[in-house]
Structure 1
Amino acid sequence: MTPDAAGVLVGDDGLARPAWASTDPLMRDYYDTEWGLPVRDEQGLYERICLEGFQAGLSWATILRKRPAFRAAFAGFSPDAVALFTDADVERLMQDAGIVRNRLKIRAAINNAQATLALRQDGGLVDFVWQFQPASTPHPAVHADIPTQSAESVALSKALRKKGFSFVGPTTMFALMEAIGMVDTHLVGSHRRGSSGVWPAPAR
């Protein structure tokens, strides 16, 4: 890895990435193929809301390594299936070493599935979340330039809470917005900058 003046690291493959995506192969693959790309399906968006909630206080690498176990434990993050989980399912999940065994976060995932179903009466989760896409996106040169929340993430957090969602604080929602391409916080020197199709690609 060689450092670049723009705040990225250039890998052996010649591609520039931020430090967090430059060493761990799992994180690098996630960065290269998934992070920052638009998510516009209900199940995919519900999953990401849940996983961002489980990530609170932990590293994203931890969640990413556990994602297959999370998907197995939560019925592939089908909102219809998870909404039917009972107290017995909560106890089952609390014994599952493959996931983050936090009772409040587990209950939030079930609660958020029920809230997702209720939102179908109001246009659906996808349209509800994406209405908070901002008019512009940050252009960070280094990691320190990236905000941890925004006016839109604060508004999204409040709106989701009013609809019954939990573990959807403003910082968590900004991380969601980054992950699903609602904002582009790829560093300007990164090979992924402008790759979402949501925001214009930089001039080369």
Structure 2
Amino acid sequence: MIETFTAADNKPRCEWCAASQLYIDYHDNEWGYPVVDDQRLFEKICLEGFQSGLSWLTILVKRENFRAAFANFDFNQVATFTDEDIERLVLDAGIVRHRGKITATVNNAKKAQQIIKEFGSLAAYFWQYEPKRDESIEPEVLATCDESIALSKDLKKRGWKFVGPTTMYAFMQAMGMVNDHALTCIGHAKSKQLREQLIRPKTS
């Protein structure tokens, strides 16, 4: 069962966001709400990869720096990054200076272009992995699911890096492919409504 806490405004929220106002803002405005914009999806999947082994708060604190470093996650621009760009980013104290994750982001930008050529958009590709769930039932606390495992496997086959099943489940939560807000959380009903109204992208 997902626990909740009551914030200063007396509204219940998922307990994980209690530690920081940054967490609360992210929880209230982004987490679990459906995304179909390709550039935002690329940002989210990249940041989830950078988060691997770290706290999400570390990523949120540095997010504007990440956006500046990676051309606002315009994958067409990131795909053109050179070895010199990678060396520059490894020295950038404003982001997570992990060479493997930096090179993976450049690699994944190129792979994103290939997916768009095949499926028409990143959104059309990712949303085909949406789990089918009853949102009237309290969501389980999960690290992976069958669909995140399948997505991870397919992305790895396509040459993507830092896209393990746990990272992909966190990505699915963040982009609103699943509604993992607690039933009593103020975000649950909002996510459910937005997901009901969403027109799922289709492949071209």
* Other-structure match for 2:144: 149
List per-residue Cα deviations over 1:140-162 (Å, max 9, x = no partner).
Answer: 47xxx411000000001111112
Aligned-pair distance for 1:98?
A: 0.4
List per-residue Cα deviations over 1:12-40 (Å, max 9, x = no partner).
Answer: 21110122212411110110111111110
Percent identity at matched positions?
46
Aligned-pair distance for 1:10?
A: 1.0
Aligned: 1:166 with 2:161: yes
Cα-Cα RMSD: 1.7
Alignment of 1:56-67 (within 5 A): 56-67=52-63
Which of the numbers 125, 129, 133 marks the counterpart of 1:132?
129
Residue segments in structure 1 that go unaligned for 5+ positions in a row = none
Alignment of 1:50-61 (within 5 A): 50-61=46-57
Q: Which amino acid aligns with 1:149?
A: T
Structure 1 contact 116–125 (Cα < 8 Å) conserved = yes
The 1:90–1:190 alpha-carbon spacing in structure 2 relative to 1, beyond 3 Å, is: same
The 1:6–1:34 alpha-carbon spacing in structure 2 relative to 1, beyond 3 Å, is: closer
Structure 1 contact 9–19 (Cα < 8 Å) conserved = yes
Alignment of 1:1-204 (within 5 A): 7-123=3-119, 124-136=121-133, 139-140=137-138, 145-196=140-191, 197-198=194-195
Structure 1 contact 149–170 (Cα < 8 Å) conserved = yes
Q: Distance in 2 between matches of 1:81 and 1:6?
A: 39
Q: Secondary structure at the match of 1:17?
A: strand
Q: Distance in 1 between matches of 2:176 and 2:196?
A: 8
Q: Distance in 2 between matches of 1:6 and 1:101?
A: 33
Q: Distance in 2 between matches of 1:69 and 1:158?
A: 30
Structure 2 contact 2–14 (Cα < 8 Å) conserved = no
Q: Tell which has more relative contact order, 1 or 2 (C-alpha 8 A, sep 6+).
A: 2
Aligned-pair distance for 1:104?
A: 0.4
Q: Which amino acid aligns with 2:14?
A: P
TM-score, normalising length: structure 2: 0.90
Aligned length: 193
Structure 1 contact 53–168 (Cα < 8 Å) conserved = yes
Structure 1 contact 7–189 (Cα < 8 Å) conserved = no
Q: Which has the higher helix share?
A: 2
TM-score, normalising length: structure 1: 0.90
Residue segments in structure 2 that go unaligned for 5+ positions in a row = 198-204
Structure 2 contact 181–187 (Cα < 8 Å) conserved = yes
List per-residue Cα deviations over 1:47-106 (Å, max 9, x = no partner).
Answer: 111000000000000000000000000011000100000110110001100000000000
